[in-house]
Amino acid sequence: MRQRGIVWIVCMLAFAGLSGLSEGGIAGKRPNIILLLTDDQGYGDVSANGNPILKTPNIDRLHAEGVRFTDFMVSPTCAPTRSALFSGRHEFKNGVTHTILERERMSLRTVTLAQVLKSAGYRTGIFGKWHLGDEPDYQPGRRGFDEVFIHGGGGIGQSYPGSCGDAPGNTYFDPAILHNGTFEKTRGYCTDVFYNQAIRWMDTIRKDGQPFFAYIPTNAPHSPYHARPEDQAIYQKQGLPPETASFFGMIHNIDENIGRLLAKLTAWGIERDTLVIFMNDNGGTAGVRVFNAGMRGSKGSAWLGGIRSSAFWRWPGTLKPATVGTLAGHIDVFPTLAEIAGAELPLEAKRQIEGRSLTPLLENPEAAWQDRPWFTHVGRWPKLADPSDFKFRMASVRNQGWAMISEKGGRHPKWHLFDLSKDPGQRNNVIQQHPEVARALGTAFDQWWDACLPRMENEKVRGPEKNPFAILYWKQFGGGPESLKNP
């Protein structure tokens, strides 16, 4: 067993940091790409994943008609997952260790997925939540997006001291949205507003015959749980608490918009030329009390319930519906889409990407796949704190068969080990029975942490005295307090 553990570490180190781009049949086919990302909708908040109350027929359709990954990992919270998606590497290496306090800003040295797709001839648009920096240089218009239609901060109406914040007074109904540098006072519910704009933009681009990348990261169903009354009523009638009923109502509205989008692709005649990907950004929240797919933990934790995501890849006529149980995750999206788009990765991106292209698994769910370690850390330590004091606080490392988590450590770990083949709910700590597995995973985690520390560039950054979205809003519409100073 000890020899096997040593061999595993050697293999792990050999594969760390590589992006295994294949030469499969879908490489370079250049479909339109639509990436749908919901905010705080857990893996269990989909009826196709087993939820006994919530109904999501259109998301279920993506599940039924696409390649569905059942062991797909994301980060414990919002900005970190978005950073990993757009960089192909762990968020800490982009400087993203929180969702606020300037630590949500993705390093300006990071090459983004949008930049690479744009360089490959794609038109690129974002409609919804960016959450990787609100200051001008960090905004998506300077990170590879042609069309920008976003709210600020981590959510509509959310504002914090410093760099992270939305337009003053914004709500989920009739929000002010920043559209290519100018605020527009929209009408309607936020999710409807984002999908309406995305559909209008796609309609224009597809008429030009140019492939597009449409990124639709909705603010919903993140708290506060403000649903349209008619959507909330569907689940209120079933006796659910108001918060959960509203949360499920918000997902119902997302599902309806996805159905509308799919109908448009068919009507436009581009359904078979379009790859649609559905994901959620972290573990569940208001829905876990109803159903959490047997998992332990939720958003903000390194337990599987905090980091497991739906991942449905639908491309009619190209991808055959299938289930993939292989460990995969958000850092794999960048190299996968770059390969499918036929994009040439610049040297900086090749050095940056840690994920692997999923094209072999998309083409063949039984394709050979080298096991690898997967690292999770919730971050979120206090501002100006020494990250090493929190190295083992809500952190995990896993591979295909094992998961090890230190929930309450600090500078020193308090590891618990779980055999996922027998205990996917992570209930039975078997670290005493398998010390060689624990040593291998622990060594991998230490090496990963040491590689992350030099790249945590936002830890001691002082934010701007005034929130950039607020400044722009007041400049356009007038008013505003004298300052929004940092404490």
Residues whose CB is less than 8 angstroms from the CB of residue 347 and which lie 6 or more positions away in sequence, other chains included: none
Name the pLDDT band for 229 (thresholds 50, 70, 90).
very high
pLDDT, tens digit, for every residue of 341-385? Answer: 999 999 999 999 999 999 999 999 999 999 999 999 999 999 999
CB 68 within 8 A of CB 317: no
pLDDT at position 481 is 65
pLDDT of 463 higher than 60: yes
Mean pLDDT calculated for residue range 371-400: 98
CB 34 within 8 A of CB 289: no
Q: What percentage of residues in the chain have a pLDDT greater than 90?
A: 92
pLDDT at position 9 is 39
pLDDT at position 480 is 75
pLDDT at position 103 is 98
What value does the mean pLDDT of the chain take? 94
Name the pLDDT band for 19 (thresholds 50, 70, 90).
very low
Mean pLDDT calculated for residue range 63-92: 98
pLDDT at position 483 is 38
pLDDT at position 7 is 36
Mean pLDDT calculated for residue range 415-434: 98
pLDDT, tens digit, for every residue of 279-330? Answer: 999 999 999 999 999 999 999 999 999 999 999 999 999 999 999 999 999 9
Residues whose CB is less than 8 angstroms from the CB of residue 276 and which lie 6 or more positions away in sequence, other chains included: 34, 36, 62, 66, 261, 262, 265, 313, 314, 315
Mean pLDDT calculated for residue range 106-118: 98
Q: Whose CA is closest to 338, among 352, 324, 323, 325?
A: 352
Mean pLDDT calculated for residue range 92-109: 98
CB 398 within 8 A of CB 404: yes
pLDDT of 440 higher than 60: yes
pLDDT, tens digit, for every residue of 42-53? Answer: 999 999 999 999
Name the pLDDT band for 465 (thresholds 50, 70, 90).
confident
pLDDT of 11 higher than 50: no
pLDDT, tens digit, for every residue of 119-162? Answer: 999 999 999 999 999 999 999 999 999 999 999 999 999 999 99
Separate counts of helices (H) and strands (E) for the chain? 13, 17
pLDDT of 12 higher than 50: no
CB 292 within 8 A of CB 308: no
- ∠ CA 442-448-452, rounded to 5°: 140
pLDDT of 24 higher than 90: no
pLDDT at position 466 is 87
> What pTM was estimated for this model as a whole?
0.94
pLDDT of 22 higher than 70: no
pLDDT of 441 higher than 60: yes
Instruction: Walk me through the domains of the chain, giving residue ranges and CATH numbers.
Output: 21-363 (3.40.720.10), 374-455 (3.30.1120.10)
Mean pLDDT calculated for residue range 449-477: 95
pLDDT of 475 higher than 60: yes
pLDDT at position 484 is 42
Mean pLDDT calculated for residue range 58-63: 98
pLDDT of 5 higher than 60: no
444 alpha carbon, distance to own chain's centre: 24
Cis status of the peptide bond prior to 487, with omega within 30 of 0: no
Mean pLDDT calculated for residue range 241-259: 98
pLDDT of 470 higher than 70: yes
pLDDT, tens digit, for every residue of 193-227? Answer: 999 999 999 999 999 889 999 999 999 999 999 99
pLDDT of 20 higher than 50: no
Name the pLDDT band for 68 (thresholds 50, 70, 90).
very high
pLDDT at position 479 is 81
Mean pLDDT calculated for residue range 399-406: 98
211 alpha carbon, distance to own chain's centre: 23
Q: Is 432 exposed, middle or buried (0-12, 13-18, 19+ CB in 10 A)?
A: exposed
